[in-house]
């Protein structure tokens, strides 16, 4: 859906960006994600999910296990 009329929106994250990490966690571990009930957030997450690969999910799985052990 076009809200502002923008033809391109870039999602750029810095190192350890919480928004991108949350998007990857949402995709790789949907049972552990905390996604706000926001229509716009869900559409952004769907777009970020298009570029997530197996290596990204392996990293999330290992960091999730580590955080549960602490």
Say if 43 falls within a structural domain: yes
CB 28 within 8 A of CB 52: yes
Assess if residue 7 is contained within a domain.
no
Range(s) of the domain holding residue 48: 18-69
Total structural domains within the chain = 1
Residue pLDDT, tens place only, 9-44: 777 778 788 778 888 888 888 887 666 667 777 787
In terms of Cα–Cα distance, which of 36, 34, 26, 16 is closest to 57?
Answer: 26
- Is residue 30 in a domain? yes
pTM of the model: 0.57
pLDDT of residue 62: 63
Residue 33 resides in a domain: yes
Please report whether residue 61 resides in a domain.
yes
């Amino acid at each position: 859906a076009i809200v502002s009329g923008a033809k391109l929106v870039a999602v750029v994250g810095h190192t350890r960006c919480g928004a991108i990490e949350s998007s990857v966690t949402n995709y790789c571990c949907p049972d552990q994600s905390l996604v706000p009930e926001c229509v716009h957030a869900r559409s952004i997450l769907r777009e970020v999910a298009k570029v997530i690969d197996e290596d990204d999910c392996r990293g999330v799985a290992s960091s999730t296990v580590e955080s549960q052990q602490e």
